[in-house]
Amino acid sequence: LFDFAQHFDFAQHLHLQRSYAYFIYEHPQDNHQCDYREDVYLFCYSELIILCNDVSCEQQRDFLGFSVINCLRQHRLFNSVQQHGNLILCKRHIVFCLLYNIIDKCFFDYCDFFGFHLAYYQQCLRNRDRLCWQHCRQQDRVVTVEYWLEITNTTLAPNGIDRLVLAVNGSVPGPTIEANWGDNVIVHVTNSLADNGTSLHWHGIRQNLTNANDGVVAITQCPSAPGETQTYEWRATQYGSSWYHSHYAMQAWDGVFGGIVIHGPATANYDHDLGNLFLQDWDSRTASQLIIVADATGPPTLETGLINGTNSYNDSGTVTGDRFTTTWDSGSSYLLRVVNVGVDTHFTFTIDNHTLQVIATDFVPIVPYTTDSVSIGMGQRYDIIVTADQAAVASDFWLRAVPDTFCSNNGAPDDIKGIVHYGDSDSEPTTSAWAITEIDCTGEPRASVVPYLSLDASAAGDVSVDDEVTVGFGSGLTWLLGDVSLVVDWQDPTAKMVLNNDTTFATSNAVTLMPTAGDWTLLVIESLFAVAHPIHLHGHDFYSLASGTGAYADVAPTLNTANPPRRDVEMLPAGGYLAIAFKADNPGVWLAHCHIGWHTSEGFALQFVEQYSLIAAQYNATTMDDQCTAWDTYQTSAGLVQDDSGI
């Protein structure tokens, strides 16, 4: 088969270096068809096939995808030339049946096998056929993507003003970790900082049975000491858009972050994937300096913001820096993977005159809906399709990230902007902004966020509230969940305690035990303060069952358990409540916390120790001990004192 494929220049499409069983059937009979069973992938190729789309034709030696499959399903016989839409099939076709070892006998559509966008893949998804997917557990693909990252101190000028930053491979944001659904991902992270520990957390990655790779200091690991290299390895069991960031002190907001793109199916078609679009608040002071202000007097006002790491800035009448720009072809559609990486800014995202089609929230594909603007909390992600259909209006448009002044303090709320150019135009836009109606930082309407794959959470509605915690203030400016402000020890992470069979967690560790597999936890968080909070849970996509203003007990809301929104970051309304539920199906030590940077540092967090007895097997005790010993040696010699929550 390999020789045959090479003869037809086919090897690059079939990826025959992988460990799969292939069966080839050459049938000159015009009426042959492979058995189309749940454990068979069916593909067709013909020397005489011609595939035409709306604008071009590709002749011969073209690996055909979804349209061919549809055609085969509808046309059982191929007696001479047949036409199905713009697809023309001729005689002498060859049918490949690829027998796949299927776990649980689950049917995978063809696009699941072939992957999506990376260089080593020939994209099988046409821009009009991106919905070719079935939800199911992924299989071992023997495909590993590997990255090397180095974290350093440097000086950059994202808005034209020099500032000390912590960079990943010399840039802010750092390189994008790109993979396909089902790939194994290995990332080697070298700490080359002058005087600090570090870690990397893979935000939203579920880490199924890889809890040791979650990258949270004092929870799953000791900090990585300067000069050390740590290797993280995890499986891309989800697909969509996210980011990685340091989970040590305020490093994430001093520049230690970058994108994650896991290519997979979509719930609507588009022509071009533009990758991550980061919305970020920014200041000439470092986040490490700003947290001192936040701890002393409350959240500081940040000077400005960036889009994908750049923006212009009016410095006392002198304009410095450059806007983010993107060039579009009129009539084409574009996927934007919008990520809020801010420390304390809730953004509303808009593009003048353009309608936004939202197709995913966090790592969860949703039934597409359209809107003029999208409200994005810290840590949240939205996959958005935009069609360049406004050429009759203008050739240049403002792309805006507008801080929600209800919960965000920013000195340039109308000047965090990028530019969309049509074609060769390079003028500054004169377009006007959409009117923004969402002004209370509650996020997108719950009714709009409908998961495409419908899952029922009725079991969660049958349990009593396991944890009901009220947000409050402790001594100084610390946050409480219930009566506890989380404090964990860099030198003695929770996972290390589990490895040592130590179950005497301190009250300040804010540990909730979830010992039984399959049990549901219903968590209600209330806030009496006029501040909205983005609540992030590691290790799970939770079910968002209810939220609103007022006390939960007084309101007694009806929980939505019929395909409720699922995500890993949800907004707790100001002066209100949030009810979320998740199932104990992923053993590990998982952090839940507010994603406002000041609040994380100030103890607004708790942790779940899930299926305690199954956690140790996910860790290498020697690796843990070696890393913690290296950190202890460095911390002692450097005289570092932990002065925050530890996470």
Q: What is the mean pLDDT of residues 121-144?
A: 48
Q: Is the pLDDT of residue 8 over 50?
A: no
| Average confidence score pLDDT of the chain | 81
- 458-614 matches 140-264 in CATH topology: yes
- Which residue ranges make up each domain of the chain? 2-114, 140-264, 266-453, 458-614
Q: Domain 458-614 has what CATH class? A: mainly beta
Number of residues that make up the chain = 647
Whole-number pLDDT of residue 142: 57
Task: Give the Cα separation of 515 and 252 in Å (integer).
Answer: 32
Higher confidence at residue 180 or residue 103? 180
Compute and round to an integer the Cα radius of gyration of the chain. Answer: 26
Task: Give the Cα separation of 324 and 336 in Å (integer).
Answer: 14
Higher confidence at residue 644 or residue 111? 644
Looking at the chain, the whole-number percentage of residues with pLDDT higher than 70 is: 75
The model's pLDDT over 285-334, given as tens digits with 9 standing for 90+, comes to 999 999 999 999 889 999 999 999 999 999 888 999 999 999 999 999 99
Task: Give the Cα separation of 621 and 496 in Å (integer).
Answer: 8
Whole-number pLDDT of residue 316: 85
> Where does the pLDDT of residue 348 fall: very low under 50, low under 70, confident under 90, or very high at 90 and above?
very high
Q: What is the 3-state secondary structure (H, E, C) of 350-372?
A: EECCCCEEEEEECCEEEEEEEEC
DSSP 37: -
Angle at 511 between CA 505 and CA 515, to 5 degrees: 100
Task: Give the Cα separation of 127 and 125 in Å (integer).
Answer: 6
Whole-number pLDDT of residue 444: 96
Least confident window among 133-147, 426-440, 546-560: 133-147
Whole-number pLDDT of residue 459: 83
Q: Is the pLDDT of residue 117 over 60?
A: no
Looking at the chain, the whole-number percentage of residues with pLDDT higher than 90 is: 65
Q: Which of helix, strand or coil describes residue 152?
A: strand
Range among 109-123, 340-354, 481-495 rated most confident:
340-354
In sequence order, the 6+-apart residues with CB closer than 8 A to the CB of 622 are none
Whole-number pLDDT of residue 464: 58
- Please give the full DSSP string across 521-541, using - where no structure is assigned: EEEEEEE-SS--EEEEETT-P
Q: Is the pLDDT of residue 556 over 80?
A: yes
Integer angstrom CA distances of residue 346 from 338, 343, 586: 13, 9, 30
Whole-number pLDDT of residue 264: 82
Q: Is the pLDDT of residue 568 over 70?
A: yes
The model's pLDDT over 246-284, given as tens digits with 9 standing for 90+, comes to 999 999 999 999 999 998 888 898 999 999 999 999 999
Q: Is the pLDDT of residue 370 over 70?
A: yes
Q: What is the 3-state secondary structure (H, E, C) of 304-338?
A: EEEECCECEEEECCEEEECCEEEEECCCCEEEEEE
Higher confidence at residue 474 or residue 9? 474
Q: Is the pLDDT of residue 506 over 90?
A: yes
Q: Among 3.40.50.10860, 2.60.40.60, 2.60.120.10, 2.60.40.420, what is the CATH number of 140-264?
A: 2.60.40.420
Higher confidence at residue 32 or residue 148? 148
Q: Among 3.40.50.720, 2.60.120.10, 2.30.110.10, 2.60.40.420, what is the CATH number of 266-453?
A: 2.60.40.420
- How many other CB atoms are there within 10 angstroms of residue 568's CB atom? 27
Higher confidence at residue 224 or residue 87? 224
